[in-house]
Structure 1
């Protein structure tokens, strides 16, 4: 191989490596923010909640870095087939991770609504639900880094457990509100938080579909993935 060709390949590999590293850093921040937000909620930790809100700007910055690098890579390196799919997937994944960061920020914003005297039994379900969605985000990013289509499919299969948690929590909170009208305000906020977590699971599934396509060039059967979550404009409503 001519020396200039070797240099081009090496430069391309460096760019792809940097792109993967940026997506990994972004995903790590989003994953941690979800866990920390639930921790702050359970312990009424206002300092941690405030930090999560402030640090969301770093996730936004990383999204812009991923987009700039991927566009530059496509424009200057003209990648083909698998490499092109990976560059495009990185842009899309960064957009979804930014949205996951927004959900963590939204949960953190609700922490001051609760206090250390809050004793809503369904609240105890949220940490287990959050753990699953954190693991889904972590595992799908590992699948992206390894270009592992089968690992991506396993992430999708876990989304049903998140949906089950949400359904259980919804029923419990509805009953709780019916039993005592004084519980309505805080229970409603908990429903929004649970919905945030449920959406994170949906978005991890969305990323898994992108990883599968980037690795194989094929789309997953709709019967496996169900309805993909839409990306709302602006900050999540819940």
Structure 2
């Protein structure tokens, strides 16, 4: 194996590690939302416990990327690929943190009867996870059209977030006994919205990877 072939092998390994980080994060989010909908405290606790695995993998990605820079002294697009991988790992890990936050809100809500049917939150959550999946695919395929689509999905998530927050705030005066629960549901909406923002960050970094320039897709 030549030096270049070995470097390409390592770059591919870095991509595989990122995709695995994304897969674990998606699983964490799916479990967290299921726990919320079912008011399943045990499942929420598992989400929190499993976050250590995600944190460890992010650290491994960071260490591996830094080692590649030190050993190979890459330039141009190869260097951008490693820098983008580092930034993506941070965004994906923070998405996983938001899954943990949803799980913690689930525990705080407990088994009290929900103030309203949870329909909009799962819909918003589903769109944010689609953004995560598509951002990973856009990265692996260096697909700028798909990266642009992610920013458009973010607009839909933001719109839903505004509607959900407005509805929850309007319920507080009518249901003072449920203010703690309503507050936690508002937090969940915020965690989902932030998850979508991190997916948009990844999309912007894909533009940087391919074009070598920074773009604000929310402008």
**How do 1:214-229 residues align onto structure 2 when only pairs under 5 Å count?**
214-220=209-215, 222=216, 224-226=217-219
Aligned 8 A contact 1:43 1:116 in 2: no
Matched residue, 1:94: 89
Alignment partner for residue 197 of structure 1, among 189, 192, 197? Answer: 192
Aligned 8 A contact 1:122 1:173 in 2: no
Matched residue, 2:182: 187
Matched residue, 2:104: 109
Counterpart CA distance in 2 for 1:164 and 1:151 is: 20
Is the partner of 2:90 in helix, strand or coil?
Answer: helix
Alignment partner for residue 41 of structure 1, among 36, 44, 50? Answer: 36
Matched residue, 1:74: 69
Structure 1, unaligned runs of 5 or more: 1-5, 227-238
Q: Once the two structures are superposed, what CA deviation does each residue of 1:90-148 show, in whole Å capped at 9, x if it has no partner?
A: 01110111111111101101212234452322632111011000000110011111122
Off by >6 Å, runs of 4+ in structure 1: none
Matched residue, 1:154: 149
Counterpart CA distance in 2 for 1:21 and 1:152 is: 19
Q: TM-score, normalised by structure 1?
A: 0.88
Matched residue, 1:176: 171
Is the partner of 1:121 in helix, strand or coil?
Answer: coil
Q: Aligned residues, how many? A: 219
Counterpart CA distance in 2 for 1:95 and 1:155 is: 18
Aligned 8 A contact 2:121 2:189 in 1: yes
Alignment partner for residue 127 of structure 2, among 119, 127, 132? Answer: 132
1:13 aligns with 2:8: yes
What is the root-mean-square deviation of aligned Cα atoms in Å? 1.4
Deviation larger for 75-84 or 112-121: 112-121
Q: TM-score, normalised by structure 2?
A: 0.95
Q: How far did 1:48 drift?
A: 1.4
Aligned 8 A contact 1:26 1:62 in 2: yes
Structure 2, unaligned runs of 5 or more: none
Is the partner of 2:213 in helix, strand or coil?
Answer: coil
Q: How far did 1:225 drift?
A: 2.0
Is the partner of 1:178 in helix, strand or coil?
Answer: coil
Q: Once the two structures are superposed, what CA deviation does each residue of 1:16-49 show, in whole Å capped at 9, x if it has no partner?
A: 0110011101111112211211110010112211
